[in-house]
Amino acid sequence: MQTDSDKQPAGDTVSGTGPKGLALLTAAQAGDPQALAQLIRLYQPDVRRYAMRHCLLSDVDDAVQEALLVLSRKIAAVRMLSAFSGWLFRIVQRECRKLGRQVLRLDPFEEEKLEQYLARKTTDGLRAELSQALESLPAHYRDIILLRDFEEFSIKEIATALDESPAAVKSRLHRARSLVREYLLGDSALE
């Protein structure tokens, strides 16, 4: 269940209808790069908090980056300051869903099958299956998933801890997630 704090940014940023917010938005729409940079700096913490609630943990940074990139490209599309925060959070929500589908390699038409599969499982059942999926992984894959998705290490921190290149960490993380996905959502799971 979403609360009002999920829908709107925290704090008194540009989301208010005050003259500062209006002036900043107007200047950014007119092409002022400094106003746009300030707008992005002001909204990044709020966008990140929103993404933390709506994205898979591993997708938060990508969703925030994509949303702020869309903001910079389409700022002129905002007609009213009061609509700005809702517009921005819808972008974040859309990015979270898009990235979630990419991670699970789901066809959008199969989402209904996935929802039905998840509805048949209890929370404890899902936890047990996830635990079994992680235990089935070779140690080097299991460690990288635990560091990234449970301990919330950055790719750089994992690379340093494991004495690997960031590219090798990303590759291993991708393969580990693929193996977990196959374990959890194998052909028989979605039928």
Is pLDDT above 60 for 37? yes
For residues 96 and 136, the model is more confident at 136
Band of residue 159 on the pLDDT scale cut at 50, 70, 90: very high
Q: What is the pLDDT of residue 93?
A: 84
CATH assignment of 4-104, given 3.90.1150.10, 1.10.3470.10, 1.10.1740.10, 3.40.50.300? 1.10.1740.10
Domain ranges of the chain: 4-104, 108-185
Mean pLDDT for 129-149 is 90
Q: What is the pLDDT of residues 14-33, one digit of tens each?
A: 444 466 767 888 888 888 88
DSSP string, 35-99: HHHHHHHHHHHHHHHHHHHHS-GGGHHHHHHHHHHHHHHHGGG---HHHHHHHHHHHHHHHHHHH
The CATH class of the 108-185 domain is mainly alpha
Q: For the chain, how long is the longest CA-to-CA vector?
A: 58
Identity of residue 103: V
Q: What is the pLDDT of residue 163?
A: 93
Mean pLDDT for 96-108 is 67
Is pLDDT above 70 for 180? yes
Q: What is the pLDDT of residue 7?
A: 44
Is pLDDT above 70 for 110? no
Band of residue 77 on the pLDDT scale cut at 50, 70, 90: confident
